[in-house]
Amino acid sequence: MIDAKTRDFVVGLLVIAAVGAVLAAIVRTGRFRSGDRFPIYMKTEIAQALNRDTRVFLQGLEVGRLRQINPVADTITSMLSFVVLLEINETFPDGTPLTLPVGTEGLIAQPTPIAAHEIQLQIPTEGQVNRQLAPGDTIESVRQVSAVELLGEVAEQMKVELLATFGEVRELIRTSNRVAEDARNVLAETAPRVHSLLDQVSETLDRTEGILTDVQPRVGIFQDSILAALSDTRQLIRRMDSLGIVANTMAAENRVIVSEVMEHVVRTAEILSHFADQLSRRPLRMLSGVTPPQDTTDTDR
C-alpha cells in the first residue's frame, strides 16, 4: 500500500500539473502575452470622470483600457496637468494588426447622460497618416462638453441673468417709491390751491347760471321773432329772385337796378341771419350788441 507521504506527493504533482496546464492554455490563447497590448500615453488638463479601466474606443470598437493616471507639474507656471496610460490592443479580434497614425487624438466623451465617460480615438484624415505611433508615444486629448455640463452652464447663465433682473426690479421699485412719495408731496402742497380755485369756479358758475335764468325768457321770445323775420325774409328773397328772372327777361337795362335791390335784400338777410346765430350761441350779446358781418359786396367792388 502507498503510504501517506507518497499519496500527498502524488496529489501535489497532479495539482502542479493542472495549474501548469491552465497557465499554458492561457499563454497559448495570448491573454497574458507581453506583446498582446502596447502602451500609449495621453495628456489631459483635468482627470475628471476618468478612472482605471475607462474604456478606449476606435470608431465604436473597444480597443483598450485606461490603466494609470499620473499628475505632471509645470516647472515654470506650476500648473498641474495629467498623463494617462492607455493599453491598446495590438490586433483586432480577427488578428489584423491595429495601428494608429501620428496625429491621433483622444476625445473624452460621455455618450449619454447616464453612461460612463469613455475615450474615443480620433484618427486624422490628413497629415502624416503614413507614420504610425510607436509604443510609448504621447497623444493629445480634447474634452467633449456633455449634456449635463451644457445644462449646468445654461443654468448658471440663467442664474446670473435672473440676479441682474432682480437687481433691476429692486431698483425700479425704489425709483417708483421715490416718484410716488414726490407725487404725494406735490399733491399735499397743491391741494389747498386747487380747492380754492374750485370754489371760485363754483361761485362764478352760480352767478352765470343766475344771469342766464333771468335772460333766457326774454331771449326766447326775441329769438322766435327773429326766426319769423328770417322766414319772411327768405320768402321775400325767393320772390325777388323770381322777380329778377322776370325782369331780366323783360328788359336788359333794368338788370342793374334789380341787382342793387337784390344786394340790399341779401345784405339784410345776412345781417339778420348773423344776428340770430350770435344770439343763439351767446344770448348775452342781446345786451352788449352784435357786430354786423362785413359787407362782401363792398369788398368785391
Query: In this structure, what is the dihedral angle of CA atoms 235, 240, 242, 247, given to the nearest 10 degrees?
Result: 170
Spans of all domains in the chain: 1-33, 34-144, 203-300
Distance in angstroms (rounded) separating the CA atoms of residues 11 and 17: 10
| Helix, strand counts (H, E) of the chain | 5, 7
**Is 42 within 8 Å of 83 (Cβ atoms)?**
yes
Nine cell digits for residue 153: 452652464
The pLDDT of residue 30: 44
**pLDDT band at residue 165 using 50, 70 and 90 as cut-offs:** confident
Q: Which of 12-21, 253-262, 290-299 has the highest mean pLDDT?
A: 12-21
| pLDDT beyond 60 at 50 | yes
- pLDDT averaged over every residue in the chain: 77
**Is 100 within 8 Å of 123 (Cβ atoms)?**
yes
Q: What is the pLDDT of residues 246-284, one digit of tens each?
A: 666 665 555 666 677 677 667 676 777 777 776 666 665
| pLDDT beyond 80 at 142 | yes
Distance in angstroms (rounded) separating the CA atoms of residues 275 and 223: 10
| pLDDT beyond 70 at 148 | no
pTM for the whole structure: 0.42
| pLDDT beyond 90 at 205 | no
**pLDDT band at residue 95 using 50, 70 and 90 as cut-offs:** confident
195 or 45: which leads in pLDDT: 45
High-pLDDT (> 90) share of the chain, %: 15
The pLDDT of residue 25: 61
The pLDDT of residue 83: 93
The bridge status of strand 80-89 relative to strand 61-73 is antiparallel
Establish how many alpha carbons lie within 13 A of residue 6's alpha carbon, considering only the half-sphere containing its beta carbon. Answer: 3
